[in-house]
Structure 1
Amino acid sequence: MLDKITDRVVEALVSTPSFALLPNLRRLEWLDDRKCFLPLLCTLLVPTITSIRLGDDDLYNPWLSKSALLASLGAQCPSIRELDCVYNGYSDEFSDAISKAVCDCHELVYLKTGVLNAQALDHLASLPSLKSLHFRLSYVDKPPTNSIPIFTSKLDELSITATSHTSFTQCFRDVRFLSCRSVVLSIDSDWMNPDEPYDPLDIPDLIVAFSECFSPALEQLQVNSEFEYDDENILNDHRFAFSFDVIAPLLQFSRLTKLDLNWLCTSNVDDKAFKIMVQSWPQLEEFHFGSGYRWLIPPSLTFTGLIHLIHHCRHLHSIDMRFAACSIDDDSEPFSTTLPNHRITRLFVGFSPIVDPMAVACQLHALLPNLTHVIRHEWVDEYNREVTFDEEWIRVNEYLQVLAKGAVLREKIGEL
């Protein structure tokens, strides 16, 4: 609508006292990035506002961080409960201004913004009202703070974006979240190393720091680290494969319902270690484990590992994992003691190796009666590379379709 407002209209609106213009304004969404409308925005910022959205992730507003408006936002609108103000970048000026505004907000429930300084984090940690927090970490390593902010309020969701895994590690050493239900960690893909997805030496410290930062009350953990590495030298590099010991610090989070570690290469985790892991997460509903990228390192997990997961996590409805699919002895444990799971309708296997597709399909149908097909990776590049074990998994899906139709027919016959 602002495209249709002329300068004369803006002048007329600005000259009108704000209390007369919109006396009961509660919610303001300002998605324009032109500086010429700043006076109108200033006019609209009234004490009655409880929800403000300024710009979005894709807008670039250098003038906003330089204006006194942003820093005075909390003082002008003291009743703010929801504040969404994201700067597309890592400007120190914006960080200082939005941090000043945040420190003047005492009733925040929801905050989505960019980089916050230590003072702002200290203030947010003291707010019992805060339920949802989304912010970025600076791309420049900061010196350790003298005090550690401790968030005692029960956060329903926390989302942090960083430029590297080491930035997360430092953050988790400098802050504590004693009661957080859901955590989403995202790596800014624009800053990712073009040569490798992560430094393998950084990951153990990151997981330890995370386990010390959050309490066992955590229910959801998701790590977003998008990259499209198709270099087979990287995807087949064993330095990126982690074993049980690296992931073990996460076992304390026994209330997890969603765990997304798809970014990790988990090829060194075997069935025995995997059983210990899934026994620690009995409430899992969604599980994503090492299948997010096209890793070519053969998995140590086998079909037995998948059975352990189904056996110990009875609430599951979605699984993403790599494993070596093969026929097993259905008269012995754990297969013989595992009840079918009717909830699971999604199974993603990445580039999982497979032998004996018919046996694998029959085992899957016995354990997951409502699974009608298996999803897998494909190569999306100009080389038209052959997908490993593609034909075998196609046959599995064909068998699953037949088995599912047979099950439906049996039910119909049973109703006669």
Structure 2
Amino acid sequence: MHRALTIREFIEMVVDEDTRPFSLADPTLLALALTCRTFQEPALDMLWASQYGLGHLVQCLPEDLWTYSDNSMDSVTLREPTRATTQQDWQRFDVYARRVRRLHHEDDPHVHIRLKFFRECHVSGPLFRWLLSSRPSHQLLPSLSFLGLGWTEDTSSKYYDSAHTLFGPRLTELDISTPRLANTNVLNVILLHLPLRSPDVQSLRANESRYRESDCQPIPTGILPALKGLEKFGGSIFLTFDSLAGLSTLPNLTEATLLFDKQRAIGQLGTEGTAQTLTFRALERLTTRMTTMADAEALLSVCCFPRLQEISLTTTFESNSGALDGVLRLIHDRCEHAILESIQIRSGANEHLADVVHDITAASFRRLYDFRHLRKFGLNTKMRIILDDDAVEEMAKSWPRLEYLHFRSPPTSATLEGLAHLARYCPSLSSLCIDVQTRGTVVSADVIPGGGFCNRALEEIEFCMSFPYGNEAKIAAFLNAIFPNIRRLDWVWRRVWDIILVLRMASEWEKHASK
């Protein structure tokens, strides 16, 4: 045997490479495991590393302990009556169980279809409980680092009343979704075990679905502060001010996704949190979803983000311009100007405001110009954004590093001359969405559009609800001069795009003719 085959790291690299493409991974790994003892252990580790359900492990137990629950062999269940097991019964099971590092266990019809694709077996509720409770002092999957649990309203309680025993000291990622109609304390009961069994968990995503607001129970106060190693937190669970305060104490939390629905928790922020400001000292990325922009304003008013790089706010319903202006003001006041690089705001439609058009003026954006390192800004709203060419110029000068700028709203008053400012002062801008007025576009032989400045990075541009009114040839010439590398335009601008293609062909002909 070549000496290179004695190096564990080299063997692992060979095994990892042989799993590509994915469709051939299992047969290749099996062949490696059966061909040479040198490759056997690494190949088996890779083969068992990620499991969808516990079906394959159950099939490693003696056949008198389990049986197929249907003729299709897609589901296994506990055989009754269950006899007492011996250490020998579990020997083969444990050989493979210690290799499992990722487990997805979901009780959902769509997941069952996926299990068939992976030739997995669905494990029944009684068998699931028996597996986790038959050896109370034994860790079923001692190497488990990722655990995904997902249940529906039809899920048996035998799954979630013992699921916490899968938590182990090596668990670093937990993704859990509780059923809609289960006991309202299901999620909290499971999470209560997390700090004790998996204190070093780094990523937690917990989703709690409820039909009624009264069904929602707040997450116990002591859980989140105890997870000192937590780096990512997300989900749609009920957070009180105390829960939010617990998150703010985590020294390593860099990413948080907070989904607030039906004003849960937000209404309490004003009463519980007015005397205290929560400082998220390590947080770099924040994503939130709330009911209204006023809720977002309430949340930001009690928080401070000195290291935040990205913020994304989404509301279910539209709000008035005053609430949006308040949110922009709080982003300015609560985030470090030299660090924040991305701001994304999206507000939904509100039938109660359908007959009233609210305006957002350039003054609301002006306070954000202090974020000189901003690379991405997006605003999607039904409100009308009032931006003239001077406002666009001021914005372009303030955000010279801008790479992404999207305004999705009813038409504004900016013209193509305003876009020329973006071409001049934002050389890295590669994605643009904005409404423009094109009437009166001027292109002459004496004046180069945009003063001769152009942006060669921009390839994607959308004009939303704008139409190319006026001389389409002049519009095309202007756009081609300031953005010479755009690859496409909206469908309603197809005639302008066709002219741009002709202009580019003519330019190429001139180059060849001059040689």
TM-score normalized with structure 1 length: 0.82
Equivalent in the alignment of 1:60: 180
Q: Could you tell me which amino acid in structure 2 is paired with residue 125 of structure 1?
A: S
Cα pair distance change 1:362/1:332, threshold 3 Å: closer
After superposition, the C-alpha distances for 1:117-155 in whole angstroms (9 at most, x for unaligned) are: 2223223223221111111344452224121111221x3
Which region of structure 1 is more displaced relative to structure 2, 303-312 or 28-37?
28-37
Counterpart of 1:51 (choices 168, 173, 176) is 173
Q: Could you tell me which amino acid in structure 2 is paired with residue 271 of structure 1?
A: D
Equivalent in the alignment of 1:396: 496
Equivalent in the alignment of 1:243: 361
Deviation at 1:174, TM superposition (A): 0.8
Deviation at 1:345, TM superposition (A): 0.9
Q: Secondary structure at the match of 1:275?
A: helix
CA distance in 2 between partners of 1:347 and 1:51 (Å): 38
The gaps in structure 2 that reach 5 residues or longer are: 1-52, 54-106, 113-121
Q: Secondary structure at the match of 1:96?
A: coil
Aligned ranges for residues 356-375 of structure 1 at < 5 Å?
Answer: 356-375=471-490
Larger radius of gyration: 2
Aligned ranges for residues 72-221 of structure 1 at < 5 Å?
Answer: 72-89=193-210, 96-97=218-219, 99-113=221-235, 114-137=237-260, 138-139=263-264, 141-142=267-268, 143-144=270-271, 145=273, 146-153=275-282, 155-188=283-316, 192=317, 197-216=318-337, 217-221=339-343
Deviation at 1:321, TM superposition (A): 0.4
Q: Could you tell me which amino acid in structure 1 is paired with residue 391 of structure 2?
A: A
Cα pair distance change 1:408/1:53, threshold 3 Å: farther
CA distance in 2 between partners of 1:343 and 1:11 (Å): 57
Cα pair distance change 1:333/1:109, threshold 3 Å: same
CA distance in 1 between partners of 2:395 and 2:176 (Å): 43
Q: Secondary structure at the match of 2:256?
A: strand
Aligned ranges for residues 290-309 of structure 1 at < 5 Å?
Answer: 292-293=408-409, 295=410, 298-309=411-422
Equivalent in the alignment of 2:399: 281
After superposition, the C-alpha distances for 1:42-91 in whole angstroms (9 at most, x for unaligned) are: 221223311111028xx636436345222332233211111011223585
Q: Could you tell me which amino acid in structure 2 is paired with residue 252 of structure 1?
A: D
Deviation at 1:325, TM superposition (A): 1.7
Point out which structure has higher relative CO (alpha carbons under 8 A, 6+ apart). 1
CA distance in 2 between partners of 1:205 and 1:119 (Å): 24
Q: Secondary structure at the match of 1:63?
A: coil
Q: Secondary structure at the match of 2:258?
A: strand
CA distance in 1 between partners of 2:293 and 2:486 (Å): 36
The gaps in structure 1 that reach 5 residues or longer are: 377-389
Deviation at 1:7, TM superposition (A): 4.0
Deviation at 1:97, TM superposition (A): 2.2
Q: Could you tell me which amino acid in structure 2 is paired with residue 315 of structure 1?
A: S
Q: Could you tell me which amino acid in structure 2 is paired with residue 280 of structure 1?
A: S
Kept after mapping to 1: 8 A contact 2:319/2:350: no
CA distance in 1 between partners of 2:205 and 2:494 (Å): 46
Equivalent in the alignment of 2:378: 260
Q: How many residues align?
A: 380
Kept after mapping to 2: 8 A contact 1:65/1:97: no
CA distance in 2 between partners of 1:130 and 1:277 (Å): 32
After superposition, the C-alpha distances for 1:163-196 in whole angstroms (9 at most, x for unaligned) are: 10001111111111111011111113xxx3xxxx
Kept after mapping to 2: 8 A contact 1:242/1:264: no
After superposition, the C-alpha distances for 1:226-260 in whole angstroms (9 at most, x for unaligned) are: 4498x9x948x5x4222111222211111110100
Kept after mapping to 1: 8 A contact 2:219/2:238: no
Q: Secondary structure at the match of 2:312?
A: strand
Q: Could you tell me which amino acid in structure 1 is paired with residue 142 of structure 2?
A: P
Q: What percentage of aligned pairs have identical amino acids?
A: 20
CA distance in 1 between partners of 2:248 and 2:368 (Å): 24
Equivalent in the alignment of 1:318: 431
RMSD of the TM alignment (CA)? 2.8
Cα pair distance change 1:141/1:347, threshold 3 Å: same
Kept after mapping to 1: 8 A contact 2:227/2:250: no
Equivalent in the alignment of 1:387: none
TM-score normalized with structure 2 length: 0.67
Equivalent in the alignment of 1:381: none
